[in-house]
Amino acid sequence: MSVLEKALSTENVQILEQVECDYWMRYYQGSSVLPTYTTMINGGLACAIPSLDILAMNRVLGVGLTQPITQATIDQIRFFYEKAGSARYFIQLPPMIVNEELEFLLMANGFAHHNNWTKLYRRVVPLVLETNRELSIRKIDRSEADNYGQLIFMSFDWEDTRLASWLASTVGQNGYTHYIVSWKGRDIAAGALFVEGEMSSMAFAGTLEPFRGLGAQALLLKKRMLRAYALGAKLITAETSEDKKGRPVASARNMMKVGFDIAYQRQNWIYKFDPK
């Protein structure tokens, strides 16, 4: 029985986490626009952009899956972020490795459970591209990298305009495919796919606020799935905020509409440095 045919085990979780580590690291290696830092700790990836107080850009993922998280691990992580200069960061942990002992260790070191992010996955299959006929989609190269970066940047509530160039840095990198969606001739949405062997991941995607609800994200999801299938991927994964009562998350619901399942709710444990 192959790994893709088994229920989610620690080994399978490690695979899902590793592909995110691999594609996320590319953003920190491909841009000179922002001062960025990365290191490997206890099998996981710690990454920081200290000039941006955005937790998504200052986080640890994939840690604790190959060996237990100890006080030494916590000390290494804290030292990395203290040296980098981040105001705060979080450690992302799949629930299957979190127990009372680890919770006690984290809280004793000043961490608190902040929220959860949803990890989704599904088998890669060819999907029919049925969507709004006024939408069109195209695969882009470096010549449209700036346009891609601007679209993603403007789709989120970020303020630092340097992020647009940072987001654009992966366009043209090995393993990546990027798309832009247009509506009546206007570019309104963008998204990226990362493929590494049999694994693939839905990377960044966003739609400009005035054009949400037209089907751009459904089109991006299906087009990227087709691309992953063509490149030989067997499994595809994605990450979103947790969709819960009173706080719906459109991206999570869009993914589940095209067959994604929830793998687990990944816990985010936050640490804040005292202001100097």
CATH of the domain at 170: 3.40.630.30
Strands 44-48 and 59-61: antiparallel
Q: Is residue 112 part of a domain?
A: yes
122 strand-pairing partners: 236
Q: Are residues 10 and 28 in the same domain?
A: yes
Q: Are residues 76 and 142 in the same domain?
A: no
Q: Are residues 107 and 143 in the same domain?
A: no
Residue 9: per-residue pLDDT: 74
Contact 188, 211 (CB under 8 A): yes
Residue 1: per-residue pLDDT: 33
Q: Is residue 243 part of a domain?
A: no
Nearest to 115 by CA among 15, 220, 242: 242
Q: Are residues 110 and 133 in the same domain?
A: no
Q: Are residues 141 and 53 in the same domain?
A: no
Q: Are residues 31 and 105 in the same domain?
A: yes
Residue 30: per-residue pLDDT: 64
- Block means of pLDDT (10 residues each) for the chain, 276 residues, are 50 88 87 87 94 94 93 98 97 94 98 95 86 90 97 93 93 96 96 95 94 93 95 94 85 90 95 88
Contact 94, 266 (CB under 8 A): yes
Q: What is the pLDDT of residues 4-20, one digit of tens each?
A: 434 567 778 888 999 99
Q: Are residues 137 and 85 in the same domain?
A: no
Q: Is residue 248 part of a domain?
A: no
* Total number of domains constituting the chain: 2
Residue 3: per-residue pLDDT: 40
Distance set, CA 98 to CA 72, 95, 104, 115, 268 (Å): 17, 5, 10, 14, 11
Distance CA 156, CA 148 (A): 13
Q: Are residues 27 and 61 in the same domain?
A: yes
**Cα-based angle 27, 33, 36 (whole degrees, multiple of 5):** 55
Q: Are residues 139 and 48 in the same domain?
A: no
Distance CA 199, CA 228 (A): 9
With residues binned 3-state (H G I as helix, E B as strand, rest as coil), the percentages for the chain, rounded to 5, are 35, 30, 35
Q: Are residues 69 and 156 in the same domain?
A: no
Q: Are residues 60 and 138 in the same domain?
A: no
Residue 34: per-residue pLDDT: 87
For the entire predicted model, the pTM comes to 0.91
The boundaries of the domain holding residue 203 are: 125-233
Q: Are residues 183 and 214 in the same domain?
A: yes
Q: Which residue, chain included where needed, has tokens 């049999």?
A: 198
8, 19, 160, 180 alpha-carbon torsion, rounded to 10°: -100
